[in-house]
Amino acid sequence: MKVGFIGLGSQGGPMARRIIEGGFPTTLWARRPVALEPFGDTAAKIARSPAELAAASELICLCVVGDADVEEIISGKHGLLAGLTPGSVIAVHSTVHPNTCRALAKRAGGRRVSVIDAPVSGGGPAAAQGRLLVMVGGDADAVERCRPVFETYADPVVHLGELGSGQTTKLLNNLLFTANLGTAVSALSLAKSLGVSPDRLTEVVARSSGNSFALNAISGIGSLDQLAGLAGKLLHKDVRLLVDLAERAGAQAGAVLDAADAALALMDHPR
């Protein structure tokens, strides 16, 4: 399968390299030429536009930041949609609104192109080691066609159902992570007020029923300041997207949203 990859950042870059090293003919495009420099030692080809990349690819992987970035890349005279070939697949690895993927599927469907949503979790180090988690939504046949490519950088690859279900699952995960950050930092602060060392509390809880990935992420820091600079904007985006989904469905997010809002406020990114 010929693969095109757009979005060569801290996570997408290692993903693309794994695809290339896996032996798949790969074409790259980037908005910033500097992002292509690390691939000078590979067999990857460089496209002059998203349209040129699409014309050369059977699977196009998008790993850009958000909804606006996806729209920018697919649209226009030299955008992705202009170069699509019938039978190809677009995999949206970005964490975006499920409706963004559905709208893209409608636009690509006229060219007999499939769209699957395939957000990822784990970060650049996990991608480099081939152990990202990929959450996939979309047509089962299209997913299976793409699975060998995904498996160069991911284990496991989980097919969750129809188009949009991957994004919804990723947003739920990130909502829960944000909420867990809020409860974890609050518990550490309370421990200090009650005369218990936050570090010793973390040591105990890490081996007990109260453990969480969020607690370990702030272990030894005791605040969300450092994490806010790294992930505050992204978590803010993802919580807002999930709230929109819940409102459209008439669903109540409840306590998990309250805790997530508290964490966002502590990170100076209130919803």
> Per-residue pLDDT tens for 91-113?
999 999 999 999 999 999 999 99
Residue with tokens 């980037």: 30
- My answer on whether 47 and 99 are in the same domain is yes
Given 116, 134, 163, the domain boundary residue is 163
Question: How many residues are recorded in the chain?
Answer: 271
> Looking at residue 221, what is its pLDDT?
83
* Strand stretches in 102-188, DSSP E: 114-117, 120-121, 132-137, 154-161
CA distances from 73 to 76, 150, 194 (A): 8, 21, 53
Residue 219: pLDDT over 90: no
Please pick, among 106, 170, 233, 237, the residue that the annotation labels catalytic.
170
- My answer on whether 147 and 176 are in the same domain is no
CA distances from 168 to 12, 144, 173, 176, 261 (A): 20, 20, 9, 12, 19
Which CATH number goes with the domain that contains 106?
3.40.50.720
For residue 209, tell me if it sits in a domain: yes
Q: Which domain holds residue 258?
A: 168-266
**CA pair distance 22, 132, nearest whole angstrom:** 15
For residue 63, tell me if it sits in a domain: yes
- My answer on whether 216 and 101 are in the same domain is no
pLDDT in tens, 131-171: 999 999 999 999 999 999 999 999 999 999 999 999 999 99
Given 128, 163, 198, the domain boundary residue is 163
pTM: 0.94
Q: What mean pLDDT value characterizes the chain?
A: 96
Which CATH number goes with the domain that contains 202?
1.10.1040.10
How many domains would you assign to the chain? 2
> Looking at residue 141, what is its pLDDT?
97
> Looking at residue 223, what is its pLDDT?
85
Residue 220: pLDDT over 90: no
For residue 271, tell me if it sits in a domain: no
- My answer on whether 137 and 240 are in the same domain is no
Residue with tokens 């992002």: 35
Catalytic residue flag (residue 192): no
Token pair recorded at residue 247: 């409102």
For residue 43, tell me if it sits in a domain: yes
